[in-house]
């Protein structure tokens, strides 16, 4: 605004420091500076003490020797690793022989004129850096995988539990600090992009009502309303749709979601979602925004350009990759050979049985793998696919003139012609391995699809492909039949709109399973990192969907009454999406575990080992909440 | 990064609209446009239909008449208020006579060539705008107070409960939309300022352990650990201190906090805090950052310049204003006259008694109020101060030659000299009213201090003063003696550091009550909008504080063991602060209630009337969590 000036950013210097540890360069030589930081490494070389002082910004060498006052030398002798130390001194150019170009501050050192120990440490449960290896902390962007390994080595093998208990110490490691810094930068980039695109961030409640995401809710007893409970949101889905009914037009929120699930390694009971919703849009507008976020994050944080993101219909993804979140960094696609004459005419009993049961036959070619594929290796593949419901795997190595060596050759029985098929349809060559699976589509796709990903990783195909391979998977089925429940369930959530062209199929009970939804998932390197849909904005359509899902009118009113109500007061066409923030950051940081991108993660049993949560509370507290724990009694029995 | 381009912001146009309703100007005349929005007003003028179409961006007039096709006219007839309508038409210059300069789009209208009803409404529980008054929604920044009144009138007197039940409709009102937009802009400004100042946003857990803020915790039963509970954080206090121990140096988070308190009108069970913490700082650095945030918010969002913010020691604030969050938009300060000879020598029994009990006597002058201060008005003041523990109030009107009319004149008894005192010490003049209170310092300060604020508002002093009067209150006492508990309690929280100069007083039991803390509160217009402190970074000092507070070593370990532990592994000097986001937004938006700056607020009984939370849950859910509700049984008895 005219004539009104915003304050300048606050500098890094404070009452206690003139500079940060990462900031000093040759251009500062001669300056008297004051620094504070942690003793990252301490070396005594014949009476001269070298202390590497570390803070978030980097590492700098402090030299305490002949040129320092006696008191400084005496104090220096008491410095131990990870002490907090205050130093005053002169920025001095290092001798050419000891210039360290691996360190950003490696051309200079601080010749100490005053040294103060600010905070001491008890014996550390693990070290942050090995003695003398401190410089690693300040190397220019190396291969992060390697730096993780270096650090794990540096912990002296501290167990995961020890590292989680002392998480505040583990967080001193440069890798974890870099991951959280990256996370911050990614959310800043996201917010600024969305703000510039007319989105407004609106906070929705954490103490709310059960949402229909299908997972278990975390519950909170109400003190004021005994017997009543809040639920923590699994997502802000309903609230963001209500904001569209309110006319907010473009909403976003980077927000916490909660799911009380049995946790796998890559899940946390609370996680963060980049959540957005838009009014007066069709699918393309939503995809454009999500692509904008991802491209913006990668450009601003990693300096990497993400190109066009292909769109793949769900059916095609299953067909080519066997999974709905395809890893497109490499080929090795599945080939549906069910309808090939050589398969159709086969007398080979596994094939015949699969076809008789309306099953499917698919093949996958592992290029040049014949030599390395011992019987044991191939048996390993068979065991792997069996865990996805296949009864086995047919394989063969391609020999001279496309001859097949292995059980797969039995498919043709007495007939000939398989060799041509191998060369023309499968495009297999001398030295390749062909794998063929037959069975139900679900088992064939899951077995071969997962095996493809496993082999892609093990054979280094993912490493040599493009660094980031994004794709959209679109046109999902709206419903799938749940055999256990004996009814249709939503593939996404019940507010997902059918594709406009398929709306009429809702009237035809026999076509319910064929309806495609206007939902879309964003996939990167084989991981689903987000998803969303165009929502239903017509209350009658919403009620029809509930009917298909077997949700009675009473249940509709009880659970979703306020949403149905809202849709009846002039709801705009709207759609949106959510990106899993941790998934995005894991990919950007090349982190193996979600724990490496969360400041204070919980274990797979949902415990915070550092804070000691969850924990018993006093009976007075429970009484005030009108609840009782039944755990004690159970133990007593 | 070089060569890598960030994507451009996403435009407002979509598949369904070429422009928004607020966007069109005279420069668009002649363009064919496509719009979607809500029917904000509908008027039929002799067969020509005028529909004001509204979205978040504004209101535009659509004209459906002679120039429109027959189908459009027919469809137009069915449009009702708040229907969602799609329109295609030509941007046309209005006749000079009907140009409306109050509307941003007031120079043009859309002559409809196609009209579609997208969504209908059930009968509305209240209206968003009165028929024909729709233009209000688009006036340029008026006096928001007035616009609130206009809207309340427009609701046809819908009750608060009805408005909360249909919150998604209430949120269509321009005032609420503007408040939430302002909130979004304020957090964007804050984040960008802190990011530029080297702060990184780190998310801390919501499922955590009880924190020591003193209010009641919301609890969450653990399914995996029966009998154990998470607590929702009252603030991220401990986590942010741990992040300093980790070396994050500058942390912030705009985060949700939870307190299960009995709610006053201006509280919510969940609220949002701008939370920050810095390492290697003393007080000034933290204040500078907080001032930067506030100045940045006001500059970027309101276009207003906030000047220097004065610092007032707690003692001075109590002395001059009687409260620790002084409203400095006006004077009418309290005068401590305890030591004035005329008071010391008084035989008047209330004064004598107060002085004998080591009490205090304070005076306040209401300028020019003599005429308006009837006996009834003055009795009202007495009743008001009694609710703060005073036994009464002495008052007098100043007459000619500083004579006093009223009970206050009795103070001097037979002696003379009060008149001079009134003129010289109190600076009172003919026509003023003097109020004098005597009693305990707590009662005198609370009674006169609150009365001052009440009178300041009622007499229009707050309205004629500066729009925003900020101040810092510093040098609070560290402890106060809790008579009920028979021990000292923390005035802020137990991690607050004493002032460096006062650290030694901790050793002297008789001086505990005198110790001043390095805490600071930010106050605007008499409301505390934030506060913080320099923290204790030395584990021994922290343990001493716990000892003073009567927290046993066992309790220290159980509750704060991990913090004490962390302080023992090399903790940097650190301090921080939290600003109440809703408090800030209320001041900026001039909102009377916190509900007006929260998208989905709860009632004073902590209910979400729209979603129907809290609500009973199934017994299966509770069983899975190993908890039982005792509420039913209580009802049965």
Label residue A249 left, alpha or beta by phi (over 0 means left) and psi (-120 to 50 means alpha). Answer: left
CA distance B181 to chain A (A): 7
Nearest CA in chain B to A222: B614
Nearest to B118 by CA among B64, B37, B56, B172: B37
Task: Find the residue in A nearest to B623 (Cα).
Answer: A630
- Which of A15, A200, A230 minimises the CB distance to B281? A15
Closest chain A residue to B54 measured between Cα atoms?
Answer: A247
CA distance to partner chain A, nearest, from residue B204 (Å): 7
CA-based end-to-end distance of chain B = 71
Q: What fold is seen in the domain A26-137? A: OB fold (Dihydrolipoamide Acetyltransferase, E2P) (2.40.50)
> Which chain B positions have a beta carbon within 8 Å of A582's beta carbon?
none
Q: Categorize the per-residue pLDDT at B127 as very low, low, confident or very high, splitting at 50, 70 and 90.
A: confident
Residues of A in contact with B87 (CB under 8 A): none
Per-residue pLDDT tens for B556-578? 888 888 999 999 999 999 999 99
Q: Using pLDDT thresholds of 50, 70 and 90, give the confidence band for residue A139.
A: very low
What is the distance in angstroms between the Cα of B596 and the nearest Cα belonging to chain A? Answer: 13
pLDDT digits (tens, 9 = 90+) for A8-54: 999 999 999 999 999 999 999 999 999 999 999 999 998 899 999 99
Burial of B307 (C-beta count, 10 Å sphere; 0-12/13-18/19+): exposed
Tell me which of A222-231, B149-158, B582-591 is least confident.
B149-158
What pLDDT shows up at residue B148? Answer: 40
**pLDDT, averaged across chain A:** 91
**A210 to B617: CB separation less than 8 angstroms, yes or no:** yes
Q: Above 50 in pLDDT, residue A140?
A: no
Give A139 to chain B, closest Cα distance, Å: 18
Q: How far is B323 from chain A (nearest CA, A)?
A: 30
- Predicted confidence at residue B139, as pLDDT, reads 42
Most A CBs within 10 A among B21, B221, B582, hence the mutation to make, goes to B221
Take residue B608 and report the two structure tokens written for it.
């979400």
The answer to whether the beta carbons of residues A303 and B5 sit under 8 Å apart is: no
Q: What is the mean pLDDT of residues A599-626?
A: 94
* pLDDT tier at B446, thresholds 50, 70, 90: very high
For residues A353-382, give the mean pLDDT. Answer: 94
Would you place residue B211 in the very low, low, confident or very high pLDDT band (cuts 50, 70, 90)? low
- Determine what percent of chain A falls in helix, strand and coil, rounding each to the nearest 5: 35, 25, 40
With beta carbons under 8 A apart, name residues in chain B contacting A57.
Answer: 249
Query: Domain B184-312+471-597 belongs to what architecture?
Result: 2-Layer Sandwich (3.30)
Q: What is the mean pLDDT of residues B84-110?
A: 96
Banded pLDDT at A415 (limits 50, 70, 90): low
pLDDT tier, A632 (very low <50, low <70, confident <90, very high otherwise):
low
Inter-residue contact A255 to A204 (CB < 8 Å): yes
For residue A111 the two structure tokens come to 């010749």
Domain with CATH 2.40.50.140 in chain B: 26-124
Comparing CB atoms, the residue among A188, A284, A628 nearest residue B15 is: A284
ipTM over 0.90 threshold: yes
* Residue B108 token pair: 């043009």
Q: Which of A55, A83, A204 sits opposite B599 (nearest CB)?
A: A204
Give residue A416's pLDDT.
66
- What is the DSSP pairing of strand A470-474 with strand A311-313? parallel
Least confident range from A150-159, A456-465, B119-128, B527-536: namely A150-159
Q: Find which of A5, A14, A181 to mutate to test the B interface (most B CBs within 10 Å of its CB).
A: A14
Kindly report, residue by residue over B238-286, the tens digit of the pLDDT.
999 999 999 999 999 999 999 999 877 778 999 999 999 999 999 999 9
pLDDT-based confidence at residue A157 (cuts at 50, 70, 90): low
Q: Give per-residue pLDDT as tens, A162-194.
A: 999 999 999 999 999 999 999 999 999 999 999
- Compute the average pLDDT of residues B433-448: 96
Contact yes or no for B258 and A207 at CB 8 A: yes
Q: Rounded mean pLDDT of A383-395?
A: 94
Which pLDDT does position A538 carry in this prediction? 96
How far apart CA B308 and CA B295 sit, in angstroms, is: 10
Closest residue of chain B to A39, computed from CA coordinates: B570
Chain B residue numbers touching A7 (CB-CB < 8 A): 193, 291-292, 295-296, 299
For chain B, give the mean pLDDT: 91
CATH architecture of B26-124: Beta Barrel (2.40)
- Residues of B with CB below 8 A from A616's CB? 227-229
Segment B431-449 mean pLDDT: 96
Minimum distance, in Å, between the CA of residue A460 and any CA atom of chain B: 28
Q: Per-residue pLDDT averaged across B503-521, rounded?
A: 93
- The confidence score (pLDDT) of residue A345 equals 85
Q: What integer pLDDT is reported at residue B415 of this predicted model?
A: 62
Task: Flag if B168 and A246 touch (Cβ within 8 Å).
Answer: yes
Question: What six digits make up the tokens of A92?
Answer: 């001095």
Q: For A523-554, how does the pLDDT look when each residue is reduced to its tens digit (9 = 90+)?
A: 999 999 999 999 999 999 999 999 999 989 99
Q: For A82, which of B207, B269, B569 is closest by C-beta distance?
A: B569
Q: Are B209 and A612 an interchain contact pair (Cβ–Cβ within 8 Å)? A: yes
Determine the pLDDT at residue A262: 86
Asked whether residue B637 carries a pLDDT value surpassing 60, the answer given is: no
Residue of B nearest to A240 (CA): B168
| CATH architecture for the domain at A184-309+471-597 | 2-Layer Sandwich (3.30)
Residues of chain A with CATH 3.30.1360.30: 330-465
Chain A residues with beta carbon closer than 8 angstroms to that of B295: 6-7
- Tokens 């700056």 found at: B597
Beta-bridge mates of residue A351: none
Phi, then psi, of A266 in degrees rounded to 5: -100, 25
Average pLDDT score over residue span A113-121: 98
Asked whether B459 and B465 are in contact (CB, 8 A), the reply is no
Lowest-confidence pick of A560-574, A595-609, B67-81, B340-354: B340-354
In percent, the amount of chain A with pLDDT more than 70 equals 93
Give chain B positions within 8 Å (CB) of A229.
614-617
A198/B615 touch (CB, cutoff 8 Å), yes or no = no
Chain A residues whose CB is inside 8 A of the B570 CB are 38, 82-84, 119-121
Give the C-alpha separation, B328 to B449, whole Å.
12
Q: Judge: B168–A192 Cβ closer than 8 Å, yes or no.
A: no
Could A15 and B171 be called an inter-chain contact, meaning their C-beta atoms sit closer than 8 Å? no
Query: Between chains, do B9 and A569 touch, taking CB under 8 Å as contact?
Result: no
Ranges of CATH 3.30.930.10 domains, chain A: 184-309+471-597
For residue B201, give the chain A residue with the closest CA: A184
| Residue A142 pLDDT | 38
On whether the CB atoms of residues B350 and B392 are closer than 8 A, the answer is yes
Residue B370 pLDDT greater than 60, yes or no: yes
Chain A partners within 8 Å of B202 (Cβ): 180, 184, 599
Q: What is the pLDDT of residue A420?
A: 78
Q: Which residues of B touch A168 (CB under 8 A)?
A: 242-243, 245-246, 566, 569
A191 closest CB neighbour out of B9, B15, B191: B191
> A130-141 burial, b if ≥16 CB within 10 A, otherwise e?
beebbbbbbbee
Query: DSSP states of A302-354 as a string?
Result: I--------EEEHHHHHHHHSSSS--TTS----EE-TTSHHHHT---HHHHHH
* B270 three-state secondary structure: strand
Which residue of A281, A291, A299 is in closest CB contact with B14? A281
A311-349 pLDDT per residue, tens: 999 999 999 999 999 999 999 999 999 998 888 888 888
Q: Say if residue B480's pLDDT is above 90.
A: yes
Mutation for testing the B interface, residue in A180, A199, A220 having most B CBs under 10 Å = A220
Q: Which residues of A touch B9 (CB under 8 A)?
A: 193, 196-198, 292
**CB spacing of A119 vs B230 below 8 angstroms:** no
CB contact under 8 A, A206 and B202: no
CB contact under 8 A, A246 and B172: yes
- Report the alpha-carbon distance of residue B608 to residue B558 in Å, rounded: 35
Cα B315–chain centre separation: 24
The reported pLDDT for the residue numbered A210 is 77
- CATH architecture label of A330-465: 2-Layer Sandwich (3.30)
pLDDT in tens, B140-198: 443 334 444 344 444 456 899 999 999 999 999 999 999 999 999 999 999 999 999 99
Cα nearest neighbour of A606 on chain B: B224
pLDDT digits (tens, 9 = 90+) for B375-428: 999 999 999 999 999 999 999 999 888 888 888 888 876 666 677 777 788 899
Share of chain B above pLDDT 70, in %: 93
Q: Which of A9, A88, A239, A518 to mutate to test the interface with B (most CBs of B within 10 A)?
A: A9
Band (A582; pLDDT cuts 50, 70, 90): very high
CA distance B94 to chain A (A): 27
Q: What is the pLDDT of residues B297-315, one digit of tens each?
A: 999 999 999 999 999 999 9
Q: Name the residue with tokens 């500062």.
A: A28
């Amino acid at each position: 605004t005219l004539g009104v000036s915003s304050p300048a950013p606050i500098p890094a210097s404070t009452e206690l420091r003139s500079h940060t540890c990462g900031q000093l360069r040759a251009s500062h030589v001669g300056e008297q500076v004051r620094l504070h930081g942690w003793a990252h490494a301490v070396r005594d070389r014949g009476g001269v003490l070298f202390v590497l002082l570390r803070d978030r910004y980097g590492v700098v060498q402090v030299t305490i020797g002949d040129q320092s006052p006696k008191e400084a030398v005496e104090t220096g002798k008491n410095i131990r690793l990870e002490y907090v130390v205050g130093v005053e001194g002169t920025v001095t150019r290092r001798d050419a022989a000891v210039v360290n170009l691996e360190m950003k501050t490696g051309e200079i050192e601080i010749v100490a004129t005053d040294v103060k120990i600010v905070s001491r440490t008890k014996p550390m449960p693990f070290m942050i850096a090995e003695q003398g290896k401190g410089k690693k902390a300040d190397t220019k962007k190396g291969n992060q995988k390697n730096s993780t390994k270096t650090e794990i080595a540096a912990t002296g093998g501290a167990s995961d539990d020890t590292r989680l208990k002392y998480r505040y110490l583990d967080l001193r490691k440069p890798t974890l600090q870099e991951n959280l810094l990256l996370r911050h930068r990614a959310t800043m980039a996201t917010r600024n992009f969305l703000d510039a695109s007319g989105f407004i961030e609106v906070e929705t409640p954490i103490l709310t009502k059960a949402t229909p995401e299908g997972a278990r809710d975390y519950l909170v007893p109400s003190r004021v309303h005994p017997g009543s409970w809040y639920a923590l949101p699994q997502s802000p889905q309903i609230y963001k749709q209500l904001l569209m009914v309110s006319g907010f037009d473009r909403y976003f929120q980077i927000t916490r979601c909660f799911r009380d699930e049995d946790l796998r390694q890559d899940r946390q009971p609370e996680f963060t979602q980049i959540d957005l919703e838009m009014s007066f849009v069709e699918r393309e507008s939503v995809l454009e925004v999500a692509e904008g976020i991802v491209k913006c994050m990668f450009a601003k944080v990693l300096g990497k350009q993400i190109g066009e993101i292909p769109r793949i219909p769900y059916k095609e993804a299953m067909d080519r990759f066997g999974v709905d979140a395809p890893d497109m960094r490499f080929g090795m696609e599945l080939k549906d050979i069910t309808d090939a004459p050589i398969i159709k005419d086969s007398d080979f009993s596994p094939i015949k049985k699969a076809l008789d049961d309306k099953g499917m036959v698919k093949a996958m070619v592992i290029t040049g793998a014949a030599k390395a594929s011992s019987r044991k290796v191939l048996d390993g593949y068979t065991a792997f696919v069996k865990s996805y419901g296949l009864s086995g795997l047919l394989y063969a190595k391609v020999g001279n003139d496309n001859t097949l060596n292995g059980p797969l050759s039995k498919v043709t029985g007495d007939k000939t012609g398989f060799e041509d098929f191998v060369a023309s349809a499968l495009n297999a060559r001398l030295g390749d391995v062909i794998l063929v699976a037959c069975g139900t589509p679900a088992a064939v796709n899951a077995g071969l699809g997962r095996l493809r990903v496993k082999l892609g990783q093990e054979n280094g195909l993912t490493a040599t492909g493009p660094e980031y391979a994004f794709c959209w998977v679109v046109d999902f089925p709206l419903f799938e039949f749940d055999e256990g429940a004996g009814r249709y369930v939503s593939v996404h959530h019940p507010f997902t709109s059918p594709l406009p062209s398929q709306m009429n199929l809702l009237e035809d009970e026999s076509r319910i399973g064929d309806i495609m939804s206007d939902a879309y998932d964003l996939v990167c390197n084989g991981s689903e990192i987000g998803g969303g849909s165009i929502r239903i904005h017509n209350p009658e359509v919403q009620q029809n969907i509930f009917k298909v899902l077997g949700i009675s009118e009473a249940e509709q009113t009880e659970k979703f009454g306020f949403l149905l109500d809202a849709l009846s007061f002039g709801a705009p066409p709207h759609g949106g999406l959510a990106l899993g923030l941790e998934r995005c950051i894991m990919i950007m940081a090349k982190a193996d575990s979600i724990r490496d991108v969360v400041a204070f993660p919980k274990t797979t049993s949902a415990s915070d080992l550092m804070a000691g949560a969850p924990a018993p509370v006093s009976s007075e507290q429970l009484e005030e909440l009108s609840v009782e724990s039944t755990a004690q009694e159970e133990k007593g029995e």
